[in-house]
Structure 1
Amino acid sequence: MTGPTVIATTCPYCGVGCGVDVRISKSGEEVALQNVSGSPEHPANHGRLCIKGSKLAQTQQSQSRLLSPVMDGEEVSWQQAISAVAQGLKHSIAEHGADSVAFYVSGQLLSEDYYVANKLLKGYIGSANIDTNSRLCMSSAVSGYKRAFGADAVPCCYEDLEQTDLLILTGSNAAWTHPVLYQRIERAKAIRPQMKVVVIDPRRTASCESGDLHLALKPGTDVALFNGLLAFLDQHNALDKAYIQAHTSGFESCLDKASDWSVATVAEYCDLAEADVLAFYRCFAASDRAVTAFCMGVNQSSSGTDKVNAIINCHLASGKIGRPGCGPFSLTGQPNAMGGREVGGLATMLAAHLEFQNPEHRDWLQGFWQSPAMAQKPGLTATELVSAMESGQIKALWIMGTNPLVSLPDRSRVERALNNCPLVVVSEVAASNDTLKYAHISLPARPWAEKDGTVTNSERRISRQRAVLPPTGQAKADWQIISQVAQAMGFNGFDYTSPAQIFVEHAQLTALHNQGSRALDLSALTELTEQQYQQLEPVQWPVNSNYPQGCKRLFTDGKFFTDNERARFIALEVREPKQRCSTDFPFVLNSGRIRDQWHTMTRTGNCAELMAHQHSPFVAMHPLDAADLGIEAGQLMVLSSALSNGKVILELQLTQDQRRGELYAPMHWNNEFCSHGSIAHLYRADCDPHSMQPELKHAAVNLSRADFGAYGLLLSRQPLAVPALQKLADYWLKIPLAEGVCYQLASVSDSPKWHQAMAALLPTEQQLASHGQALNCLALDQQRLSWALFTDPTGPIELPLDWLNTELGNQTCDSEALSALLRRSPRQSQGRQICSCFGIGEQAILAAISEGHDSIGKLGQQLGCGTGCGSCKAELSALIDSSARPSVDPDKIIIQEAV
C-alpha cells in the first residue's frame, strides 16, 4: 500500500474549466480514487468547485460502463471492431462517395480527440460532414464573433467579471450553470457594492439573487432590447465616437436600423415596464466598464447570431471592449466546446481558424497534413445530418461522446434517421443510453478519470486533463480509436503514441502562415517535449512570441481580424421566433438545465446526492395559468406540440418566477431515467440561418392532465431493467437512492397487477406482507426490506426520499416499521434537499429560520448551507422571504438612476 497521490486535472462539466485535485491511493495493481477538491492554483476557480464537481468521485461507476466492443449485440475483440468500422467506412465511400460518411462529436472530447477526428474526415476521407454537439450551444456565438471581429475570438477573461462596473447576465442562469463564476461575481459585488448586475431572462432564476434589476422580457425579443440600447446611446451622447471612427465600420447603417426603437417601443415589444428599460439603458450609458455575459438563452434561437451581434454592436458603439472589465463574453456550455472550435470540430470551419472560403487555406492544410484528399466546402451541420440520414444521403455515421436522441430537436425524426442509416458506430462510456440502442457497433471509450489531453475553457484558457485512473476493461482513448480506424483504412499520418504528439501538431498548425493574421496562435508551444506537455500550466491563447505566457484580453489595440482590421457593426432586423403560439398550442416552452444535473445524466443521474435536489422531470407554470386550467401542483401533465410525435409527461410545478403564458422544462431526462421525460419530442428543428443552431428555447405547446387509473411508488434494493419497467407500467420514473432505487409508476388501468409482477421480477426467497388487500405490499429477504410497493388511485405518491433510503438501509425491518411502511406513514423527514454540499433539507432550514437565523449568512453559520458551492443561496433566500415576508412581490428590483 502506497501513500496517497494528488493529480491535478480539470472538471468535465461546464465551460468554466475548473482545476481539480484528485487524491488517489494504490495497493498493488489496484488504484482507487479517494476524493476530489478544487485546485487552489488554478486561475479559473482558485480552489472552488460546484456541487457537481465536488461529487466527481461518486460518479465513477464501473458497473454501468461499456467495457468491451460490441457488434450487433455480441462482444467482439478490438481487432474485429476496428476492422468492421474501417471496412464499413471504406465501403460507404466506394459505393456512395466521401460525403456519405459523417461524424457527430462532442464537447466532452479532448482537443486531441477532436483534432484526430477532424483530420481523418476532412483531410483523408475528404468530407466536411463532421459536426459537434457544440452546434447546439455555442455556434451562434461563433457566428456572431466572426461577423463582427473576423474570428471566433472571445475578447474577455474571468477577471473582467470582477472588475466591471456593470455586469449584464443575459440568457444565462450562471448561478446554476456556471456556479463557480457566479461565486466570483458575488464576491466582487460584496467588495464593490456599487457594481451593478442586470439579469435579462424571461424567468426569475437563481441568478437574480445578486441582481439589481431583472428584465423579464418576452422570449425572443433580445434584438429589439439591444437595438433600443444602441439608439439610446446615440440619443444621449453616450457613443464613443473616436473609437467608432478609428476601429469600426458599418456604424451608420447599423444605427439606422436601430433608430426606431425608442424606450417606449422597446418596452411594449419586449413586454417590460418603461421604467425598467430606462434604468437599464441609463446604467449602461453611465458605466465606464460593462460586460455582457451570455449563454444558451441568447444562442439557442432562430435569430441567435443576430442577438449576439446586437450585444456586440452596443459594446463597439460605447468603446466597452478590449479594456479590463469590458466586453461581450460568451459563457461556454461544455468543458471543451472551445477546444473543438479550435481544431475544426464544426462542419463549417477548417482546423486552426482556417477558412473553407479561402482556397489558399485549404491548400495550406492539405500540405501540412500531407493528406490524400481535402474537403472543399462546408459540411452538414447537426440537424442537416439528421435530414441527410433520413433521406438516405448519409450511409455511415460515427457518434462520439454524445447522446443526440436526447439533445437534438424533433426526437422522433432523429429516431427515424438512425433507423434508416446502414452503419451507426457509437463511441461511448456508458453501457446503455438512448442512442446506443441504434448502434450497430459500440466502442468503449474512456471517461473523465481515464482521459489524458487538453481542454479550453470560456476565457480561452488551455488546461491539462490528466488521467487519474488506469483504463477500465478494454476502454481506449478516443484519439486511439480514431487513429487505429484510420490506419486500418490504409491512411498514414495517424501513428500517434501519445496525446502530446497530437497537441504539438495542433500547435504547429496554428502557427502555419500565421504572422498575426489569425487569432488562434500557439506558436510558443510547438516544441513541447513529453515532459513539458505533462507539466503544462493553464494558459490563455494566443501563446506566441508577443504573448509567451498567454494573453488575458483580445483587441486591446483596437485591431480585429477582418480584412481592414476594423470591427464590423451589423445592421439588424428584429425577427420573431419560428414557432408561434396558437389556439391549439397557446404556451411558449422554454428549456434549460437544473442545478445538480449535467446534460443527459449519464454521470450525475446515477449519483443519489445529485438527484436529491430535483428528482423528477417537471414543467413549471405560473399559478394563475394553472388556476385557469383547473390543474394543481404535483399532477402529471401531458405536453404536446404540432409535431405530434412522442408523448412527454412531466410533473407540474407552480411558481411566480414564470411569466404568464410561458412554461419551463429541464432538458436532462431521457429513456434511461423516465419513460416519457424527453422534451426533445416537442422542439422543431428550426435553425438560425447563420449558425444553424436550433431554436431550443421557444416551442409552442399545449398541456393537459395525464389520464391514469392508478399510481404507484416502488422502492427496490435492486434496479430494474428498462424492458421490465416498460412491462410493469405505462409511465415510470427512476430515482436512484444511496441504498437502492425508487420508481414512480402510473398505469392506464385502475387495477394494475403490480405486486404480482414484482414478485415475478424478483423471485428470491422472500416473505411477502401486505396491507389493504395487497394494494400496498412489501417483500423481506431474511428480515431485510427487499422491495416495497405503494399504490394510490388519485395521483402520484410522494414519500420523502431520505425516509425511503433509510428503510432500505436498515438491516432488519421490525413489526412497527413494517406496519408504518404499509400504511405509508413516514417517519420525520428533512424534506426536499436544498443544500447538496452538506445535505441540508428544507425542514431543518425552516426550523433554523424560525429560531432567528433569518439571513443567508446566519443560516451558513448555523447549518453550513450556502457556504459550499453557493448554488443554493437563491432557494435559501426564497425560504427566508416566504417565512418572514410572505406578501412581498419580488418581481421588480429597480436600479437607482445613474448620475
Structure 2
Amino acid sequence: MTQPIIPIQTATVKTTCPYCGVGCGVNAMPKSATEVGIAGDESHPSNFGRLCVKGSALGETVGLEGRLLAPKLRDRETGSISEVSWDDAIGTVASGFSRIIAEHGPDAVAFYVSGQLLTEDYYVANKLMKGYIGSANIDTNSRLCMSSSVAGHKRAFGEDLVPMNYEDLELADLVVLVGSNTAWCHPILFQRIVKMKETRPDAKIVVIDPRYTATCEMADLHLPLKPGSDVRLFNGLLAYLAEHGASDAAFVDTYTQGFDAALAAAGHADLAQTAKDCKLDPHDLTEFYRLFARTERMVTVYSQGVNQSSAGTDKVNSIINCHLLTGRIGKPGMGPFSFTGQPNAMGGREVGGLANTLAAHLELAEPVHREIVQTFWNAPTIATRAGLKAVELFDAIEAGRVKAVWIMGTNPVVSLPDGDRAKRALQRCELVVTSDIIEKTDTNAFAHVMLPALGWSEKDGTVTNSERRISRQRAFIPAPGKARADWRIICDVAKRLGFDGFDYAGQHEIFDEHARLSGYRNDAATGVYRAFDIGGLVGLDRARYDALQPTQWPLRAANNTSLSRLFEDRRFSHVDGRARFVATPPRDPVNATDEDYPLILNTGRVRDQWHTMTRTGRSPKLAGHISESFIDMHPQDALACGVRDGELARVKSRWGSMIARVQHSGGMSRGSVFVPIHWNDQVASDARIGAVVNPVVDPMSGEPEFKHTPVSVEKFHVTWHGFSLSRDMPALDMATHWTRVHGTRYMRYELAGRNCFDAAHDDHHDWARALFRIDDPHADWIEYEDKSAGVYRAAHVVDDRIESCVFISERPDLPARAWLASLFEKDRLEDDDRVSLLLGQPIGKGEDTGPTVCSCFGVGRNTICNAIRDKNLKTAAEVTACVKAGGNCGSCVPELKKLIVETEMARLSTV
C-alpha cells in the first residue's frame, strides 16, 4: 500500500527511550519526514542527558520500511493475506474469542503481552482478561527475564518491591554485579558506576559472572563462578557473615523472621568447599567475602544472569538474605538492586501483567484482593486462580487446551525457549491474533489476524523504570497508515465483546483509573496495605497528564510526596511488617551435561542490538559492531569439537539447533559457550538460538533456564565463504547459510555455501550473476578470479554507480566491508574504485577503518589501533581525545582498554 506522508513538526518533544529498564529521558527533534534528531534529556534524573548507542540511534529506526500499516487477515485455505477494515478485523477477533469462550470456557483463550507495551495498554489488557473474560491467562514476555525477581521480592518483602534508586550506585563503597553485563546491557547505569570509581578510587567493583565480559574490564575482582552455582556462593556468604560477626542482630531480631531456617539451609562457612563447588580460586572467594563483610555501604546489582534459571527465585533470595542479615537495606548506598531488562517491565508488574498477579500489587490467590479489584472495576467476574505462565501457556496451545491467543508487541517464536514448540503451537492454534508494528516477523508468519500498532515514536503513555520512576513516553510522529494505540485496539475488542467499562477519552483516563486503584482500600487497617500507591497522581486531566514529570512511587495522596528509597522506616509489606529470610537449599540445574551434550550454553544480549532486532536491526549505525550471530567458546573446547575461530558451526541440544560463526573472545571458561539472543529467521537463515534453549522453568517464578542448556558443537561444512552488498535483495537460495546486515543505501549479506564450483568452468560467473538476477549479457560487470586460490570477486555497475558486489573465498577470512560500503554512498565510481574492487582492498584515498568499535561516532578498530600505536596512547581518555571513540555513551570504553593492551603487546612482540 502507499505509505502515508508524515507531517513534519519541529518542536522538541521530551519522551523516554524504549530499550532497557534504565528509562532514559530522550529529546526527539523531528527535522523532516524521515529524519529525527535524538539527544539525551539533561533534565531527566535517570540519565541527565546521556544516552547509550542504541538510544542515540533511535532516529534511524522510525521509518516505515516493513511496517504493518493496516489490519490484515490470512485466508486459512490458501494462506493469502488481505487488507481489511478495522471494523472487520475487530469483528473477527471478537467473534472468534466469543465463540471459543462459549464453547470451551474462558480458560481456552489467552493474551501474551510485552514489556514494550505502555502501562495504559497493559492495564486495559489485564482488566479485560481477568475482570471481564474471567481468566488469568494473560502473561508477559517479562516472565522470561524478571519474574524470578518478582517472586523473590514477594517472598522477602511481601510485595514486588525494588527498594533502591540510581543514586545509591554512586553512594556505595562496594558495588557487586551478579549475572549482569552492565557495560553492554545497562550502559548509562554502568557509566554512573564508572564515574563513582573515578571519583573515589578506593571504592570497589566486584563482578560475579561465568564469562569475562566488558563489565569485568572495570572490576577490581572477577569471580568466574561455575554456571548455576550462585546459591552456593551466597549461602556460603551468609554463613561467613554469621560466623564472623558481620550481622546486624538488632535489625534481624526486630524487623525480620526466618533467619535460623535460612542459616540452617546455608550450612557452615566452609570456604574451601564453596570454592570447589563454584570452581573459584579460594583466595578470590575469601577476598569477596571479606569485602562484603567489612563494607557498610554496598549494593548488589543482579539481572538476567540470576533470574533466568530453574533456581532463579532462590538465587534472588540468597542475595537478599545477605542484605537482611547485615541490615544493609533501606539506607543510602546499600541494598539489593534488580536491573530490569525491558522499558516497562516494572509498569507491567504494577498493573498485574503476570498470570499470577492482580493489578495494583494485589494477589490473585487472595479472596479479599480479588473482591477489591472486582468491586473497583465493577467487573462481571474475576479470575479465581493463576493463569498459565509463558512456557506452559504455549504448551497448552500446542495441546489444544488454549484455542485462541492474542500476542501483543512480542515475538515468542524467537524469544521463547524450545522455540520450535512455539512454532508448532501456533500452527495448531484455532485463532492467532497479533498486534505489532512490523509485518514480517517469525511470529506473524502464523497469525490469522494482524493488527497494526503504534511504534515508539507514535505512542503516548507512561513507563516505569528499574528505580520505580514513572516517565511519560510522548508521541512526536502522527500514527502512520491505519495504525492504532494498543489500548484503543484492546478497548475496541472489549466493547465488541459486549463489555462496559472500556470507554476512555484518552490514555490519561486509563492512567487516572490505574492511580485510583493503587490507593483504593490501601491501608494497613484493612490488611491489604501495599507500598505501591500513586494516589497522589489521581485526577490528572489531559493537560496535566501531558505535562507529568518523572516521578517515583510510592506517591500517596495523603502526603503527595514520593519516596526515592523504600524501607527507610523498616516497614515491609508482609502483614506483620517484617521481612523474611528464605531458606535456599542449593540444587543443581535440572538438565545436566552428558556425553552427547557435554557443553553448557549461556545466552544473552550484545551491546548494539535489542531483543529480536525488529527495531535495532534497521539501524546501519548499530550493525557495524557485531553483524553476525556467533558461538563464543574456549579454544580448547573448540579444538575438541573440531571447529576453528571464524568457521561456521552448529550448536545442538535435545530441543533444536542453530548455526553461527565460532569466535574466541577470551572470556569463556572451559565447558561453556555463549550465543546471543537477537538473530532470527528474518535476518539469518538459521541463527535462532531460542530453538536450542532448555525449556525447564523455575518452579516458583516460571522463568525459563536461559543460562544452562546442555549442548554440543560441531562443524558446519561449507565449501566457500562470502559476502554481498546490493541495493536490491539477492537470490538467497543461492547460499546455504546467510545473515542480513542493514546498511545505509544497501543490504549486506554474509554468505556461505556448498556449491562445488568446477575450476574448468566459469561457474562463479554464472552463479554470481544469478545471485543478483542479472540477465543482460552487456551489463557492466567487473570481476576477478584466482581459481587456484578459490577466490572470486565481482561487481555490477549501472551508469557508473555500483549496484551490487560479491566476494567469495574458500577461506572464511575475507576483505574488509567498511570501505566497500562507502562505495554505495557515491553517485559515481572513480577509476581507483574499480581497481579496488578487483584488488579486494582500498587504494588511493580509501581507508579500511575496520569493524566498528564506537558506534556512536562510527570509529573502526583499525582507526583506533593506528592512533594508539602512532600516538603512543595509554588510556581510554587519550583515545577519546584523539579519535572521539568512547566520548558519548561510554559503552565501548572497556573495548578501548582492551585494544590498548593488545596493541602494546603486538608492539612488544615485534621488538
Report TM bin, short chain.
Answer: over 0.9
Question: Which of 630, 650, 664 in structure 2 is aligned with 1:638?
Answer: 650
- The separation in 1 between residues aligned to 2:859 and 2:727, in whole angstroms, is 24
Deviations 1:488-538 (A, max 9, x none): 111111111211000000001111110251111111111112111111111
Shift of 1:814: 4.5
Which residue number in structure 2 is paired with residue 515 of structure 1?
523
Deviations 1:50-93 (A, max 9, x none): 01101111111212211111101111111111111111111110
State yes or no: 1:543 paired with 2:562: no
Question: Which of 249, 260, 275 in structure 1 is aligned with 2:257?
Answer: 249
Which residue number in structure 2 is paired with residue 780 of structure 1?
797
SS in structure 1 at match of 2:582: coil
Deviations 1:86-139 (A, max 9, x none): 111111101111001000000000000000101111111111000000000000
State yes or no: 1:875 paired with 2:895: yes
Q: Conserved in 2, the CA contact under 8 Å of 1:539 and 1:549?
A: no
Q: How does 1:160-239 map to 2 (within 5 A)?
A: 160-239=168-247
Q: How does 1:409-808 map to 2 (within 5 A)?
A: 409-516=417-524, 517-545=529-557, 548-643=560-655, 645=656, 647-720=657-730, 724-725=731-732, 727-751=733-757, 754-760=767-773, 766-772=779-785, 775-792=792-809, 794-796=810-812, 798-808=814-824
Q: Conserved in 2, the CA contact under 8 Å of 1:59 and 1:604?
A: yes
Shift of 1:276: 0.5
Question: Which of 153, 156, 177 in structure 1 is aligned with 2:161?
Answer: 153
Computed over aligned residues only, the root mean square deviation of the Cα atoms, in angstroms, reads 1.8
Q: Conserved in 1, the CA contact under 8 Å of 2:617 and 2:742?
A: yes
The AA in structure 1 aligned to 2:292 is F
650 and 189 in structure 1: CA distance in 2 versus 1, 3 angstrom threshold: same
Which residue number in structure 1 is paired with residue 51 of structure 2?
49
Q: Conserved in 2, the CA contact under 8 Å of 1:744 and 1:796?
A: no
Q: Conserved in 2, the CA contact under 8 Å of 1:459 and 1:540?
A: yes
The AA in structure 2 aligned to 1:636 is L
- The separation in 1 between residues aligned to 2:270 and 2:382, in whole angstroms, is 50
Which residue number in structure 2 is paired with residue 897 of structure 1?
none
Q: Conserved in 2, the CA contact under 8 Å of 1:352 and 1:509?
A: yes
Q: Conserved in 1, the CA contact under 8 Å of 2:694 and 2:708?
A: no
Deviations 1:387-429 (A, max 9, x none): 1011001111000000111110001111100101010001000
Which residue number in structure 1 is paired with residue 364 of structure 2?
356
Q: Conserved in 2, the CA contact under 8 Å of 1:59 and 1:606?
A: yes
Of 268-277 and 710-719, the range deviating more from structure 2: 710-719
Q: Conserved in 2, the CA contact under 8 Å of 1:718 and 1:741?
A: yes
Q: Conserved in 1, the CA contact under 8 Å of 2:178 and 2:306?
A: yes
- The separation in 2 between residues aligned to 1:763 and 1:512, in whole angstroms, is 74
Q: How does 1:228-377 map to 2 (within 5 A)?
A: 228-377=236-385
**Could you tell me the TM-score, scaled by structure 1's length?**
0.95
The AA in structure 2 aligned to 1:267 is A
- The separation in 2 between residues aligned to 1:803 and 1:609, in whole angstroms, is 15
The AA in structure 1 aligned to 2:201 is P
- The separation in 2 between residues aligned to 1:151 and 1:353, in whole angstroms, is 7
Q: Conserved in 2, the CA contact under 8 Å of 1:32 and 1:469?
A: no
Shift of 1:775: 4.8
764 and 225 in structure 1: CA distance in 2 versus 1, 3 angstrom threshold: farther
The AA in structure 1 aligned to 2:794 is C
- The separation in 1 between residues aligned to 2:257 and 2:94, in whole angstroms, is 50
505 and 298 in structure 1: CA distance in 2 versus 1, 3 angstrom threshold: same
Which residue number in structure 2 is paired with residue 77 of structure 1?
85
- The separation in 1 between residues aligned to 2:87 and 2:727, in whole angstroms, is 39
Shift of 1:572: 1.2
Shift of 1:43: 0.6
Which residue number in structure 2 is paired with residue 832 of structure 1?
851
- The separation in 1 between residues aligned to 2:494 and 2:456, in whole angstroms, is 24
SS in structure 2 at match of 1:424: strand
797 and 782 in structure 1: CA distance in 2 versus 1, 3 angstrom threshold: farther
Q: Conserved in 2, the CA contact under 8 Å of 1:203 and 1:657?
A: yes
- The separation in 2 between residues aligned to 1:122 and 1:630, in whole angstroms, is 53
Shift of 1:630: 4.4
Shift of 1:809: 2.2
Unaligned runs of 5+ in 1: 889-899
SS in structure 1 at match of 2:462: strand
State yes or no: 1:844 paired with 2:863: yes
424 and 137 in structure 1: CA distance in 2 versus 1, 3 angstrom threshold: same
Shift of 1:549: 3.1
**Could you tell me the TM-score, scaled by structure 2's length?**
0.94
SS in structure 1 at match of 2:751: strand
- The separation in 1 between residues aligned to 2:776 and 2:210, in whole angstroms, is 51
Q: How does 1:383-402 map to 2 (within 5 A)?
A: 383-402=391-410
Q: Conserved in 2, the CA contact under 8 Å of 1:744 and 1:797?
A: no
- The separation in 1 between residues aligned to 2:779 and 2:82, in whole angstroms, is 34
Shift of 1:582: 1.2
The AA in structure 2 aligned to 1:70 is K
SS in structure 1 at match of 2:406: strand
Question: Which of 88, 107, 114 in structure 2 is aligned with 1:106?
Answer: 114
The AA in structure 1 aligned to 2:491 is S
- The separation in 1 between residues aligned to 2:27 and 2:155, in whole angstroms, is 39
SS in structure 2 at match of 1:23: strand
Of 258-267 and 348-357, the range deviating more from structure 2: 258-267
Q: Conserved in 2, the CA contact under 8 Å of 1:716 and 1:787?
A: yes
Shift of 1:815: 5.0
State yes or no: 1:38 paired with 2:40: yes
- The separation in 1 between residues aligned to 2:424 and 2:746, in whole angstroms, is 35
Deviations 1:359-403 (A, max 9, x none): 111111111111112111110000011110110011110000001
Shift of 1:769: 3.7
Q: Conserved in 1, the CA contact under 8 Å of 2:816 and 2:841?
A: no
Shift of 1:795: 3.3
Deviations 1:326-351 (A, max 9, x none): 11110000000000000010001011
Q: Conserved in 2, the CA contact under 8 Å of 1:765 and 1:781?
A: no
852 and 71 in structure 1: CA distance in 2 versus 1, 3 angstrom threshold: same
- The separation in 2 between residues aligned to 1:790 and 1:702, in whole angstroms, is 31
Shift of 1:715: 1.6
Task: Report the number of matched residues.
Answer: 877
State yes or no: 1:859 paired with 2:869: no
- The separation in 2 between residues aligned to 1:788 and 1:886, in whole angstroms, is 34
Q: Conserved in 2, the CA contact under 8 Å of 1:790 and 1:822?
A: no
Q: Conserved in 2, the CA contact under 8 Å of 1:200 and 1:217?
A: yes
Of 525-534 and 544-553, the range deviating more from structure 2: 544-553
- The separation in 1 between residues aligned to 2:337 and 2:12, in whole angstroms, is 33
- The separation in 1 between residues aligned to 2:726 and 2:864, in whole angstroms, is 30
The AA in structure 1 aligned to 2:47 is N
Q: Conserved in 1, the CA contact under 8 Å of 2:642 and 2:715?
A: no
Deviations 1:4-46 (A, max 9, x none): 3111110000000001111135xxxx76653111111111001
